[in-house]
């Protein structure tokens, strides 16, 4: 399997009104990619500028950041031609790698805008190199700029950042270092621009100490919380029935938490995030994670504070 390290640059309207009215918020104007083989050796590269068809002026901030003028794009090919060539270039057996979690969504949005055949009918498994960098070298939760990672890893800075070809080049360099770190490539991600269409397509991915579940769409939160797989508290490691220490509760209506105890694997924290789909429906991302007593106590405290708050409000009225 090859690795396609992809980076995109896009343009947008300067003013909020045009931005919100436009069917396409981010118009891709540059594609940069590096192809690595299964040994992480570079075997090819792809780079193309794209002639815009939605926005005919360069957003001021974007223009200053990436140093591309509209005049440079005038004689380029349009998105459909460039994207079709790019996808042919990718081949058949590959996995995408991007810095952060937005490029694959924007690529698919642009493809849909031009009614191109979709990249996938389901969520796309890929590597978020920004996330992998933090897992390998820093705190798991941090999100660093590409330049930070390049400097952190003493990678030689040969070209300026913020152009698609340059950023793909640097991301590939970071990816190689990340891939050499033990076990890090187990932590793949899913792009959820396309959601599971039915129960059978739902994602249940088990990692070393946590699991991720991505649901199909529901009409609303209530429907989601009525689904037995969404609220299931079975142990993600052994499938055993757990004891509910803290049943699902929510402090803001968007995130739900629970704590369960598996006889073999101890305390497990459950977190449900309600997410809005592109169709204005709801889908669920649930994570289950083995945790220590400190985390359990934090959740119990959060739940108790919520109860106190409710009690106080009742007394005041
Ligand atoms: Zn278990």
List the one residue out of 190, 211, 200, 201 whose CA is nearest residue 275: 190
Residue 314 has a pLDDT of: 76
294: Cα within 13 Å, side-chain hemisphere: 0
Q: Extract the tokens encoding 77.
A: 């090919």
> What is the CA(68)–ligand 1 centre distance, in A?
54
21: Cα within 13 Å, side-chain hemisphere: 8
List the one residue out of 27, 15, 110, 28 whose CA is nearest residue 60: 15
Residue 312 has a pLDDT of: 79
Residue 246 has a pLDDT of: 96
For residues 216 and 196, the answer to whether their CB atoms sit within 8 Å is: yes
Please give the DSSP secondary-structure letter assigned to residue 79.
Answer: H
CA separation for the pair 110, 79 (Å, rounded): 8
> What is the CA(268)–ligand 1 centre distance, in A?
9
Stretches where the chain sits below pLDDT 50 are none
> What is the CA(206)–ligand 1 centre distance, in A?
12
List the one residue out of 136, 272, 280, 153 whose CA is nearest residue 214: 272
Residue 297 vs residues 175, 235, 246, 286, 303: alpha-carbon distances, Å: 37, 20, 10, 20, 10
Mean pLDDT (the chain, rounded): 93
* Cβ count within 10 A of residue 198: 8
Domains in the chain, start-ordered, CATH in brackets?
A: 2-186 (3.30.420.10), 198-316 (no CATH)
CA separation for the pair 271, 250 (Å, rounded): 10
Residue 51 has a pLDDT of: 96
Those residues with Cβ within 8 angstroms of residue 70's Cβ, 6 or more apart along the chain or in another chain: 52, 56, 57, 58
> What is the CA(159)–ligand 1 centre distance, in A?
49
Instruction: Give 84-125 as a DSSP string.
Output: HHHHHHH-SSEEEEESSSSHHHHHHHHHHHTTPPPS-SSPEE
Would the CA dihedral through 124, 40, 100, 23 be positive or negative?
negative
> What is the CA(160)–ligand 1 centre distance, in A?
49
> What is the CA(237)–ligand 1 centre distance, in A?
5
How many Å from the N-terminal Cα to the C-terminal Cα in the chain?
Answer: 64
> What is the CA(87)–ligand 1 centre distance, in A?
42
* Cβ count within 10 A of residue 42: 15
> What is the CA(201)–ligand 1 centre distance, in A?
24
> What is the CA(209)–ligand 1 centre distance, in A?
11
Those residues with Cβ within 8 angstroms of residue 294's Cβ, 6 or more apart along the chain or in another chain: none
């Amino acid at each position: 399997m090859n690795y396609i390290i992809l980076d995109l640059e896009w343009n947008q309207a300067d003013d909020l009104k045009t931005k919100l009215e436009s069917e396409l918020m981010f118009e891709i104007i540059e594609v940069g990619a590096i192809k690595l083989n299964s040994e992480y050796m570079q075997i090819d590269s792809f780079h193309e500028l794209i002639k815009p068809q939605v926005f005919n002026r360069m957003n001021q901030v974007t223009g200053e950041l990436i140093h591309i003028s509209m005049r440079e794009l005038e004689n380029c090919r349009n998105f459909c031609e460039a994207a079709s060539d790019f996808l042919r270039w990718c081949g058949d057996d590959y996995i995408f790698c991007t810095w952060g979690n937005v490029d694959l969504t924007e690529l698919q949005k642009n493809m849909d805008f031009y009614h191109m055949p979709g990249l996938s009918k389901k969520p796309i498994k890929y590597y978020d190199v920004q996330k992998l960098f933090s897992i390998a070298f820093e705190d798991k939760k941090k999100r660093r700029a590409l330049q930070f990672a390049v400097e952190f890893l003493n990678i030689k800075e040969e070209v300026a950042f913020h152009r698609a070809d340059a950023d793909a080049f640097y991301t590939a360099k970071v990816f190689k270092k990340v891939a050499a770190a033990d076990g890090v490539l187990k932590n793949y991600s899913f792009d959820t621009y396309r959601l599971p269409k039915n129960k059978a397509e739902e994602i249940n991915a088990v990692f070393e100490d946590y699991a991720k579940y991505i649901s199909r769409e529901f009409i609303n939160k209530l429907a989601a919380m009525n689904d037995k797989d969404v609220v299931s508290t079975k142990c993600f490691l052994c499938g055993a029935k757990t004891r509910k220490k803290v049943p699902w509760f929510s402090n803001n209506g968007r995130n739900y938490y629970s704590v369960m105890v598996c006889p073999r694997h101890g305390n497990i924290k459950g977190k449900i995030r309600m997410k809005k789909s592109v169709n204005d429906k709801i889908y669920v991302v649930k994570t289950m994670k083995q945790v220590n007593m400190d985390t359990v106590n934090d959740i119990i405290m959060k739940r108790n504070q919520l109860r106190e708050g409710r009690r106080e409000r009742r007394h005041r009225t």
